[in-house]
Structure 1
Amino acid sequence: MSLERIIEFGAWIVMAIALIYYVPKEKFRDSILIFFFKQLLTWFSGILVVQWNLIVYPVRLFASAVNTSFTFEFFVYPGICVLFNLYFPEHRSLLRKAIHYVIYTSGITVFEVVLENYTNLIKYIHWSWYWTWITLFLTFMASRYFYRWFRGDFTRQAVPVAEHPRTRR
């Protein structure tokens, strides 16, 4: 078995265990929503960067079906995004929130750069690590805002009918 296949197999196992272990049962529905939303973003952006010859994935699962990395674009990144959102420091300082973004984004970027330099899982053509960092940051931000919107964080508290000024008698 090649190094690339070992890494892909390991990524599936580690991510599956992390999701099973770290996603609370009461947040299972939320995790599915986040996972699918991140998949939507990575599917679209992954296909674009491959079609525009910015990145190539020489070794990948389902090589005849898709030119992007199925393992990372469709499972690992969305799984990490679930953990990013479920463990986001919601009621902490702006600095702590920014650090949360930087840690997740930088961690994935460093991992991808290592893969790019030492394996055939990914090869940059007209791409660089900072584009990875920027796109990850933006997709984490998009998933965060989508999740907050879905939870209703952006809606104002409804005024009960009995207390509404127009309904008083």
Structure 2
Amino acid sequence: MVKEYMILAAMWLFGTIGFILFIPQKDRRKGLLAAIMFQALIWLCDMPSFTYGLLSAPVRIFPKATDLTLTINYFFYPILFAIYYVHSKSMNSLWLKITSFFVWISIITIYDYILERYTDLIKYGSLTWLGMWIYIGFLFSISLVCCNWFYKEKTPIQSYVGGTNED
């Protein structure tokens, strides 16, 4: 159990340092909104996932308060999405944006699978690694659409198909 708490502490440390180092000062507000948007969406999706046994978290920070994994799902993954969101704005090519999207969700899924396999921080119930990959991809794409909507920016599809962003 000590190993799990050290991993949680490392996630808090690397998440904080990553937010400061990898998000430029001028984009911190966008990064913070992206993290909050991701937190809101993952909360809506995780409540049924944990309630109906798709996921479980045997070791967590507040075991009596909630069954959800606060550090992983409400701090670390939102920070990773914020870093992705801020840096995806600088990509010009649609191919580069799509590749970057799939690389990010694949790396996060691999990390999640390693946590599931070798620790007690998260356990898949009836969910597989492929289901988790689809789940994380869904969360990333919906969060990206919501953040783009908030800032009134075109989505990658709109900018290459010729759509407009007028209300």
What displacement does 1:143 show?
Answer: 1.4
What displacement does 1:89 show?
Answer: 5.3
- Residue matched to 2:24: 24
Question: Are residue 12 (structure 1) and residue 12 (structure 2) matched?
Answer: yes
- Residue matched to 1:70: 70
Whether the 8 Å CA contact 1:116–1:124 is kept in 2: the answer is: yes
Whether the 8 Å CA contact 1:90–1:97 is kept in 2: the answer is: no
Deviation track 1:4-51 (CA, whole Å, cap 9, x = no partner) reads 001000011001000011122211221121111100011111111110
1:15-94 correspondence runs (5 A)? 15-88=15-88, 90-94=90-94
SS of the equivalent of 2:44 reads helix
| AA partner of residue 141 (structure 2) | M
Whether the 8 Å CA contact 1:89–1:96 is kept in 2: the answer is: no
| AA partner of residue 118 (structure 1) | Y
Structure 2: give runs of 5+ residues left out of the alignment: 155-164
Deviation track 1:73-117 (CA, whole Å, cap 9, x = no partner) reads 110011001001000055432221111111110001001111111
Any runs of at least 4 consecutive aligned residues in structure 1 with deviations exceeding 2 A, and if so which? 89-94
- Residue matched to 1:104: 104
Structure 1: give runs of 5+ residues left out of the alignment: 159-169
Larger deviation: 147-156 or 48-57? Answer: 147-156
SS of the equivalent of 2:43 reads helix
TM-score, structure 1 as length reference: 0.87
SS of the equivalent of 1:87 reads helix
| AA partner of residue 135 (structure 1) | Y
Q: Indicate the RMSD between aligned Cα atoms, in angstroms.
A: 1.6
Q: 1:89 to 1:100 in 2, by over 3 A?
A: farther
- Residue matched to 2:138: 138
- Residue matched to 2:157: none
Aligned residues: 157
SS of the equivalent of 2:88 reads coil
